[in-house]
């Protein structure tokens, strides 16, 4: 992470180092925050934020889901994001809005604690590394199961939920893999630690449904549209663990990870061990889209 100049804190722009919180903040103690991850890309026509409003709508929905009475609307958050990029003069950026309970009353009930709203933007390169994006990453099926609809709200980006992702990611790294893939509580494929999953078998593209416990990714939706638009059959369906091993191609999608090929799962080589043609197609379409090279998807870009 490369520090930027200013962070937006409850309506004001403050210096990067001054965007602090009290250690007794409810969200620090109990994970009661909701957030987003958004990217802005450099295009020949200037910097553009990718699917800005969709991200802010999901932020507001996450807050609502966890009963966090966020004052700002998605439209107001859009404006804050654009102003933050201007203030920091960033050509490309990762943007992190975070709405959370601060320090107030002690105890589980968050109601007596103030609600804060911060937003940072900073330069972030390739999340899985340039080598991983080019050649594919290695993964393992984690022994940790993805959080379930019966104990959390997987479709919301609640900060406390990410302890589950951290367990899986740490396990994978310790075992020498780049990333973890998680099954859900009934043993069906769900997603990675912070990205959605696609497989390709005999030319058909598959991705687990919302009921599998995934976060309904905006990149997932984007790739779904892009590949469907190219005439591919893309099916949301339950996937068994074994179908990962027999797939011709597997790739992961996310704002941070963008489109990342998977070349190995649990020591098994996927397909030829090289990113397959449909994975490459998804990568190429996605990078053209965020570079403002596909006119029909310009409505997904908000120019700064």
Ligand X SMILES: Cc1ncc(COP(=O)(O)O)c(C=O)c1O
Give the Cα separation of 160 and 148 in Å (integer): 13
Among residues 6, 42, 157, 169, the one annotated as catalytic is 157
Q: Which tokens hold the place of 117?
A: 């709203």
157 as an active site residue: the answer is: yes
Question: Nearer to ligand X by C-beta: 113 or 257?
Answer: 257
With b for 16 or more beta-carbon neighbours within 10 A and e for fewer, the 242-261 pattern comes to ebbeebbbbbbbbbebbbbb
**Span from 78-86, 93-101, 172-180, 210-218 in contact with ligand X (CB under 6 A):** 210-218
Question: Nearer to ligand X by C-beta: 238 or 274?
Answer: 238
* Residue 139 binds ligand X (CB under 6 A): no
Question: Can you say how many angstroms the Cα of residue 79 is from the centroid of all Cα atoms in its chain?
Answer: 21
Q: Which tokens hold the place of 30?
A: 């109990």
How big is the site for ligand X, counted in residues (CB under 6 A)?
A: 14
Among 255, 260, 279, 283, binds ligand X (CB under 6 A): 255
Q: At what angle do helices 218-229 and 277-290 cross, to 10 degrees?
A: 110
* Residue 281 binds ligand X (CB under 6 A): no
φ/ψ region of 109 (left if φ > 0, alpha if ψ in -120 to 50, else beta) reads beta
Question: Nearer to ligand X by C-beta: 14 or 153?
Answer: 153
Residues with Cβ within 8 Å of residue 181, at least 6 apart in sequence: 139, 140, 141, 142, 189, 191, 192, 197, 244, 265
* Residue 259 binds ligand X (CB under 6 A): no
Among 26, 220, 263, 281, binds ligand X (CB under 6 A): 220
18-37 positions binding ligand X, by CB under 6 A: 37
Question: Nearer to ligand X by C-beta: 102 or 132?
Answer: 132
**Span from 3-11, 12-20, 26-34, 188-196 in contact with ligand X (CB under 6 A):** 188-196
Give the Cα separation of 47 and 39 in Å (integer): 10
* Residue 158 binds ligand X (CB under 6 A): no
Question: Nearer to ligand X by C-beta: 6 or 300?
Answer: 300
By beta carbon distance, the residue nearest ligand X is: 217
Min dist. Cβ of residue 219 to ligand X (A): 3
* Residue 184 binds ligand X (CB under 6 A): no
Among 117, 138, 139, 196, binds ligand X (CB under 6 A): 196
CB-based contacts of 241-245 (< 8 A; 24+ apart in sequence) = 241/141, 241/183, 241/187, 241/188, 241/189, 243/189, 243/199, 243/201, 243/206, 244/141, 244/181, 244/189, 244/199, 244/270
Give the Cα separation of 209 and 231 in Å (integer): 20
* Residue 128 binds ligand X (CB under 6 A): no
Name the residues annotated as catalytic: 157
- Positions in the binding site for ligand X (CB under 6 A): 37, 165, 191, 194-196, 215, 217-220, 253-255
């Amino acid at each position: 992470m490369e520090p930027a100049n200013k962070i937006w804190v409850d309506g004001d722009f403050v210096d990067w180092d001054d965007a602090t919180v009290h250690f007794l903040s409810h969200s620090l103690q109990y994970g009661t925050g909701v957030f987003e991850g958004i990217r802005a890309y450099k295009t020949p026509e200037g910097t553009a934020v990718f699917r800005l409003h969709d991200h802010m709508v999901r932020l507001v929905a996450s807050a609502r889901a966890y009963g966090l009475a966020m004052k700002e609307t998605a439209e107001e958050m859009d404006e804050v994001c654009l102003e933050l990029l201007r203030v920091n003069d960033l050509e490309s950026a990762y943007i992190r809005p975070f709405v959370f309970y601060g320090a107030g009353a002690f105890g589980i009930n968050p109601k007596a604690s103030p609600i804060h709203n911060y937003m940072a933007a900073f330069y972030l390169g390739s999340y899985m590394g340039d080598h991983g994006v080019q050649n594919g990453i290695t993964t393992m099926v984690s022994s940790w199961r993805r959080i379930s609809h019966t104990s959390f709200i997987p479709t919301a980006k609640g900060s406390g939920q990410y302890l589950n992702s951290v367990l899986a990611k740490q396990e994978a790294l310790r075992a020498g893999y780049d990333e973890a893939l998680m099954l859900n509580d009934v043993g069906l494929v769900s997603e990675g630690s912070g990205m959605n999953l696609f497989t390709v078998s005999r030319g058909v593209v598959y991705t687990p449904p919302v009921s599998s416990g995934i976060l309904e990714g905006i990149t997932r939706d984007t790739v779904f549209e892009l590949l469907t638009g190219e005439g591919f059959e893309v099916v949301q369906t339950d996937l068994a663990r074994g179908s990962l091993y027999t797939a011709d191609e597997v790739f992961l999608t996310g704002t941070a990870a963008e489109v990342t090929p998977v070349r190995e799962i649990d020591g098994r080589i996927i397909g030829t061990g090289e990113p397959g043609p449909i994975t490459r197609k998804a990568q190429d379409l996605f990078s053209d889209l965020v570079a403002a090279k596909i006119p029909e998807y310009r409505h997904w870009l908000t120019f700064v």
